Amino acid sequence: MSHAYPAPAKLNLFLHVVGRRADGYHLLQSVFRLIDRADTVHLELRGDGRVVREDELPGVPEDRDLSVRAARLLQAHAPAGAGVSIRLDKVLPMGGGLGGGSSDAATVLLALNRLWQVNLPREALQKLALQLGADVPVFVFGQTAFAEGVGEILQPVSAPPAWYVVLTPPVQVPTAAIFAAPELTRNTPPLKIAPFSAGMGRNDLQPVVVRCYPEVARHLEWLAQFGEARMTGSGACVFASFGTQDAARDVLRQLPETMQGFVAQGLDRHPLVDCCAE
């Protein structure tokens, strides 16, 4: 029997680089907001102990696929013989800053935690998730979060209801290259956690990406006609927040034919948030 599970995207409502560790990793502060635009992860249980990817993911070998790595990581805690076949229906663009690959991996962890009857508590699953990448734990955390450290120190925070217009420039932005840019601001003063408000903060990576990728700059400039527009993550996707679905859809209807985008609603909780114990 095949099971289908959503892997929702995220937006960084702001993203500050507040320092750098001795090992070179950057220290961040951000608010992560899940949205209802999602990949779909199809899982079919196997009894032969194998983790198999059923389809190709262009540019991503199977042993580097975060979804495959997530399943193999959880196998160490699963009953003998536990295996799975994985198939992804990709909607979220790669290299777009929406966290698609990280979300796919987190959905695999959350779903198999229940399907394999591993039943790890959320905190333990988040620690496994961090081995896969800094963005994976927030999807396991499963709610709007104020993030610190490299993104793994998470606290719940409230964000106002919102609909987002998200534009998807036709470029892939390499995260490592943006963080390595010498002109990147790395000393934004840290914020104390406080009630989040729309328009709070900025994205410190945005000026670097805008200089390197004119398409990102073009999409930001167009969207800024309708409200405060900013980039999510290390790009390339950009977004603006609106109070109603109608307002967001009205903006999307005006989108030039040379651009692509979508409207998504902010989520307070991950659809699979109940797949692990607290």
Kindly state the average pLDDT of the residues 154-177.
94
Model confidence pLDDT, tens digit, residues 206-255: 999 999 999 999 999 999 999 999 999 999 999 999 999 999 999 999 99
Task: Tell me which residue of 217, 214, 222 sits closest to 251, measured CA to CA.
Answer: 222
Distance CA 238, CA 167 (A): 5
Model confidence pLDDT, tens digit, residues 115-147: 999 999 999 999 999 999 999 999 999 999 999
For the question of residue 127 being annotated catalytic, the response is no
User: Does residue 84 surpass a pLDDT of 80?
Assistant: yes
Model confidence pLDDT, tens digit, residues 27-62: 999 999 999 999 999 999 999 999 999 988 888 899
Q: Which of 39, 65, 104, 135 is catalytic?
A: 135
Model confidence pLDDT, tens digit, residues 170-180: 999 998 899 98
Q: Which residue has the tokens 């406080």?
A: 194
* CB count in 10 Å sphere of residue 134: 18
Domain 1-278 sits in CATH at: 3.30.230.10
Q: Which of 10, 39, 65, 104 is catalytic?
A: 10
3-state secondary structure string, 15-55? EEEEEECCCCCEEEEEEEEEEEEEEEEEEEEECCCCEEECC
pLDDT-derived band at 151 (thresholds 50, 70, 90) equals confident
- Against a cut of 0.75, is the pTM above it? yes
C-alpha triplet 78, 83, 87: angle, nearest 5°: 125
For the question of residue 135 being annotated catalytic, the response is yes
* pLDDT for 195: 63
